[in-house]
Structure 1
Amino acid sequence: KTKDDRLTKDMESFFKMQNKSKISETGSHVELPYYSGNDSEHRIVNIKKKQQKKVVKRNNIARSRQSMNKKLKNRYKNIHYIRKKLNKRYLSDESNTSIQIVPEPEMEYDNESDIVLKEETTESETASLTREMSPSPPPPPM
């Protein structure tokens, strides 16, 4: 056998496979030849296949989106549940609100020097502070 004979046999088997009639994807059992030499029919079958692929893809995307939404909803439900539990357990009965971030007190700025002044202390307070800050007398030697 030569290479040409083998090639022609392979080609013949290939075309036989191609021409085997397939059940159309619409579900109605109408047998459509995959390619019957007529270009328009061939094109129609291919278009149907493409449309079906698109529909399947769209459904998959929708399904994945639904599952993601479900997961997110469950996650948020869990967070709210835990928050409620924590609030009941740790906060006193008077404050049933959720934990709030207390804003820092705004610092006052001096217009002349732009130095941050936290709290103005009176002279008597400064004197008492200096007295406390001064080192204690050393213990008497033994």
Structure 2
Amino acid sequence: MTDLLIRATAALHNAGPDAVLTHHTALALYGCQAADQHVVHILVPNRRRVRSRPGVDVHHGRFARGDVENLYGLRVLALDHALAQVLCRESSAVALACFEQAVERYPPDHRGLFAERIGRCIRARPDPRGQRKALLLLRSCYRLVG
């Protein structure tokens, strides 16, 4: 984890004050061991001209300040939003493993609400790629959380 924190801190510093950690990097910081920690994923507003480089994958998009949390002193996209990104864009096996690990953070009677929040995040994404697949995976996850 120390190596990831060092690389994530450097990536955020280079990307600027309005960047946040996202995708696998955010999930790893939330404790999802299935998340890939080899590349640091950051999200920057569309107006920013930041490019990916070896070891850092830059995503451009929108996020609200309320969707950002502070973990280990770093700006991190909220767990439900980060999971929505991974469910839409990553392999089903990795996405399901991350969901299963993340949902364990919640008591059983709150897991359905957590899954519903992820569904809202998926539907709200401006990029429609992967939404259908993600919603199907999420429906199968509902059985896992029930």
User: What TM-score does the superposition give when structure 2 sets the normalisation length?
Assistant: 0.19
**Greater RCO structure (CA 8 Å; 6+ sep):** 2
User: What TM-score does the superposition give when structure 1 sets the normalisation length?
Assistant: 0.20
Which structure: greater strand fraction? Answer: 2
